[in-house]
Amino acid sequence: MGALTKVLTLVVFVLAQRISGLDMTDGGNRQEHAALCSFFAMAGRKLDIPMIDPLAEDDYKYIQELNFTFAPETWQSKFYKEADRTTVHGDANPASLQNVGEERHWPDWKEAAQAFRKESKESRVKELLEPPLTSTARGIAAVEVAAIAASAWTIKQDYPALTAEQKAYAATNPPPDLAKALFGGGATTAETVTANDPFGKSVGSTARDQICDVGHANSGIKCATAMLACVCEPHNAQATTNGECTEKAKPVGNWNGGVSGPSQADLQKLAKSCGTPPSTKLTRTEIRSAITHLRSLIHFDTNDGYLGHYSGTGCNGSKGHGICVKFTNLMASDKTQFETKTWVAKFVQAAEIMDSLQQTAAKAAAVNAQLKNMKV
């Protein structure tokens, strides 16, 4: 038998084991366990997101102050209540500024005027005013600086504002949503997983094939721990000998659908079976690779998708039927449910927000660089 023939024969055999009517063997869901564990390896890790530089306010204000001081005295005097420039007007109306761009520029003008109040020590440009320029030089400088100040204002408008999601990720890293996506409820580690939180409810009295069906009204796939239970927790009567996933991950008890659900101890054992997460920062590439790999393990029977061993008659936990997660109509009317209707959606969102933060950081840096270069 040639090498290629051997490979094809092996592939056919493996696929037959996964989708045929044969009973599941020990470790039949080892691949699914490993793929899910790649998410548990992300638990508690800080996301690799950039620091976003604040707007270069000093550089911007420097330009605006310089623009103000080169303006004619008649213009400058409009901003003050008194002739000696003790107090700046509160808004543009008493300053007799109408239809001159005050609706956009008043905050900048007011702040610049504050820097030149009587006895003020706030000005960033006073040292440039000594010795005083000639009237001709001031006139030339005024035109040039006014153009620079106008450009600086336009550039400042491009400084990116963070979205609510970006602010949340920047303020709290790692974001709590990812821990909830892994463990359910308020659990943040495998050691704090409870019996009900992974499913969002008590599942003892509900049929297992309903709990493990993403599209069912009674679905309990609220987090990765619940999905891990569906592919690894043994059936009360029709279980494998040494574990559906790995021998080390094999729970002590079982899941007797309609009678009793997985115990807290067994759910914790399953989550712990994935090992200790590394201390490195979590990247967008790692998240997307994990999503792609897990998605690739879903196989199909007509329009329905299955993660884990499936021979027929639903994901009821029996090795002769299905120890799996069902995605109803995944190939037909609900093609995005894996990415949008399961806990995986939180990781999809995380990668997208990380993308946007990278773009925002780059844009902020570009704006600041332009303002610094414009500073005279």
H or E stretch covering 304: strand 304-310
Work out the angle at residue 263's Cα, subtended by the Cα atoms of residues 262 and 269, and round it to the nearest 5 degrees. Answer: 95
Cβ-contact 229, 270 below 8 angstroms: yes
Over range 201-212, report the average pLDDT. 96
The whole-angstrom separation of Cα 123 and Cα 111 is 10
302 closest CA partner among 312, 293, 315, 292: 312
* Mean per-residue pLDDT, 197-213: 96
What span, in angstroms and rounded, lies between the C-alpha atoms of 132 and 336? 69
Torsion, Cα 354 356 362 363, to 10 degrees, reads -160
Count CA atoms closer than 13 A to 347's CA, side-chain side.
Answer: 30
In degrees, rounded to 5, the angle at the alpha carbon of residue 12 between the alpha carbons of residues 6 and 18 is 140
pLDDT, tens only, 180-204: 999 999 999 999 999 999 999 999 9
pLDDT band at residue 9, thresholds of 50, 70 and 90?
Answer: very low
Closest CA to 115 of 54, 155, 67, 154: 67
pLDDT digits (tens, 9 = 90+) for 351-362: 999 999 999 999
Q: Is the pLDDT of residue 234 over 90?
A: no
Integer angstrom CA distances of residue 136 from 66, 146, 208: 17, 16, 87
User: Which amino acid makes up residue 213?
Assistant: D
What is the rounded distance in angstroms from the CA atom of residue 188 to the CA atom of residue 174? Answer: 11
pLDDT category at 17 given cuts 50, 70, 90 is very low
Residue % of the chain over a pLDDT of 90: 71
Q: Which residues contact 177 (CB under 8 A, 6 or more apart)?
A: 346, 349, 350
Closest residue by Cα to residue 32 from 245, 191, 274, 266: 245
Q: Is the pLDDT of residue 370 over 90?
A: yes
As a whole number, mean pLDDT of residues 110-125 equals: 83
Position 297 scores a pLDDT of: 97
Quote the percentage of the chain above a pLDDT of 70: 89
Beta strand pairing status for 322-327 and 304-310? antiparallel
Per-residue pLDDT reduced to its tens digit, 297-310: 999 999 999 999 99
Scan for tokens 């987090």, then name that residue.
223
pLDDT tens, 274-320?
A: 999 999 999 999 999 999 999 999 999 999 999 999 988 889 998 88
What is the per-residue pLDDT for 130?
61
| Pairwise CA distance, residues 258 & 39, whole Å | 29
Quote the mean pLDDT of the chain.
Answer: 89
Q: Residue 5 — very low, low, confident or very high, per pLDDT cuts 50/70/90?
A: very low
152 or 321: whose pLDDT is higher?
152
Amino acid (one-letter) located at 21: G
pLDDT score of 58 more than 90: yes
Tokens linked to 350:
């995380």
CA separation for the pair 166, 185 (Å, rounded):
23
Angle, vertex CA 234, rays to CA 233 and CA 235, nearest 5: 125
Q: What pLDDT score was predicted for residue 49?
A: 95
Which pLDDT band holds residue 83 (cuts at 50, 70, 90)?
Answer: very high
What residues contact 335, with CB distance under 8 A and at least 6 apart?
Answer: none
Please, are residues 217 and 200 in contact by the beta-carbon 8 Å criterion?
A: no
